[in-house]
Amino acid sequence: MRMMKAIAVKMILVAFLVGPGVAQSADRNANTSKTEKYRLVWFEDPATTATFVWNQLGGEPAVLHYGPRNFDRKASEYPWKKKADRVVEFDGMTNCMVTLRDLEPDSWYFMVLSDDFGVSRRFYFRTAPDKPEPFTFIAGGDSRNFRDVRQDANTMCRKLQPLFVAFTGDMINHDNAIEWGEWLDDWQLTISENGRLLPIVPHRGNHEARAASIPSHFGMPDDSYAAFNVGGDLFRYYILNSQIPADGSQGDWFKSDLVENAKGVTHLVAGYHKPMRPHTSGKSLGQNSYKWAELFYAAGFDLVLESDSHVMKRTLPVKPDADSPGGFKAAIGDPNATIYVGEGCWGAPLRRADVNYPWTVDRASFNGFDWILVTPKAIFDKTVKVEKVSSLGEVDLKDPFKDPEGLALWKPEGGDEVLEIPAD
């Protein structure tokens, strides 16, 4: 892998589906049901599977009506319906979960909820492609304190319209009902005006102190780790849990999954909360997550997404080396080397970015997240600053990685605004 000094990302993304382009009735956003706090979750094969979660405010859990055509809020017109697979009473909410399976890859689906009181607004979402084609996603974490920043970042996600959002932990500050209710209300800002849902890929952070929080609010497996592919063998993403032992049962699963599923995949990417080597003196070394470093290198991971420190960083391609500063050394040109980015600035209190290593490209302190384009030839990463959201334009899905008007990017010292990670 290498970092390019000058990159012009000019790509014709013919295969990138622009959108359903539907005509909608005037009451498309009306909601007469007793449902709220909607979220679409990915942790299984997103080409064929999606989990939809909502809070039921009263009566029996709503029924989900869905199909490949838009019937607005006419629930009976949709060809399929499904009752909740699970109902979880947690934090004063009645979280109802429906997992849709056997969906068609790279397709749009429309849906509404109906209960004894009425019908929800109309939603729609896109499944992931199962063949190699370009897509974008957003990665970041630590939204726990300042709701205004969190709301701005969520609004930016809606305007950038990625395929999904990998949220790498610390959604809330105190793991309680009040803060989860606020967080889920703020997440509604990621839903477009005409009802498009952005799938969230949730990760557990240290402020998700209760092991049950992520599974209960998002339907994740109990240990909150999983993996899935996008674009067939183009991309495999690992949701790792740095709050439990990196080895043990999680480590056994990770090693086994790499053997069974990583061979032949063009891009391997992982996300988790606790960084191995924080770039602030306010955080201790991540000795638990560092146990994954050798696995990342041996498997040839291209990119790793971290959070927790409330700073932003970008590294050179590195390999683990116990005798080098921070336990890594630069390995430019090594196809197995890994670039580490992130450290979490979605509204948590910013810290000083006062730790540097020989393999650090740059570090800084600002609210932001990573906006990433995955293609068969390379991964491209822009670090976006959360600012001037009201004047930010919306991305053109005919050119989905072109900066919309008003977008502010971080330009690392010694690096470029756009990081390129060529396919191995």
H/E stretch holding 164 reads strand 164-167
Residues in the chain: 424
Are 143 and 116 contained in the same domain? no
Residue 14 in this model has a pLDDT that exceeds 80: no
Are 225 and 122 contained in the same domain? no
Are 139 and 121 contained in the same domain? no
* pTM exceeds 0.85, yes or no: yes
Give the residue-averaged pLDDT of 130-154: 98
Is the residue at 14 inside a domain? Answer: no
Cβ neighbours of residue 358 closer than 8 Å, sequence gap 6 or more: 324, 325, 329, 330
Is the residue at 83 inside a domain? Answer: yes
Name the pLDDT band for 6 (thresholds 50, 70, 90).
very low
Q: Report the CATH number that the domain containing residue 40 is assigned in CATH.
A: 2.60.40.10
Name the pLDDT band for 3 (thresholds 50, 70, 90).
very low
CB-neighbour burial class of residue 259 (10 A; exposed 0-12, middle 13-18, buried 19+):
exposed
Are 110 and 147 contained in the same domain? no
Least confident span in 18-27, 210-219, 415-424: 18-27
Name the pLDDT band for 333 (thresholds 50, 70, 90).
very high
Are 366 and 319 contained in the same domain? yes
Are 61 and 190 contained in the same domain? no
Residue 47 in this model has a pLDDT that exceeds 90: yes
Domain that holds residue 254: 135-422
Residue 288 in this model has a pLDDT that exceeds 70: yes
Give the residue-averaged pLDDT of 162-178: 98
Are 310 and 263 contained in the same domain? yes
Residue 398 in this model has a pLDDT that exceeds 70: yes
Residue-averaged pLDDT of the chain: 94
Q: Letter for the amino acid at 414?
A: G
For position 25, what pLDDT does the model report? 59
pLDDT in tens, 342-379: 999 999 999 999 999 999 999 999 999 999 999 999 99
Are 85 and 195 contained in the same domain? no
Rounded Cα–Cα distance for residues 334 and 269 (Å) = 16
Q: Of the residues 77, 100, 126, which one is the last residue of a structural domain?
A: 126
Q: Report the CATH number that the domain containing residue 227 is assigned in CATH.
A: 3.60.21.10
Q: Of the residues 126, 160, 183, which one is the last residue of a structural domain?
A: 126
Better-predicted residue by pLDDT, 7 or 416:
416
Helix (H, G, I), strand (E, B) or coil at 179: helix
Are 154 and 102 contained in the same domain? no
User: What's the total number of domains in the chain?
Assistant: 2
Count CB atoms within 10 A of the CB of residue 385.
17
Contact 63, 149 (CB under 8 A): no
Name the pLDDT band for 24 (thresholds 50, 70, 90).
low
Least confident span in 5-19, 31-45, 64-78, 135-149: 5-19
Residue 331 in this model has a pLDDT that exceeds 90: yes
Are 321 and 380 contained in the same domain? yes
Are 69 and 101 contained in the same domain? yes
Query: Cα 336 to the chain's mean position, in Å?
Result: 24
Q: Of the residues 106, 126, 146, which one is the last residue of a structural domain?
A: 126
Is the residue at 189 inside a domain? Answer: yes
Q: Which of 192, 184, 199, 211 is nearest to 44 (CA)?
A: 199
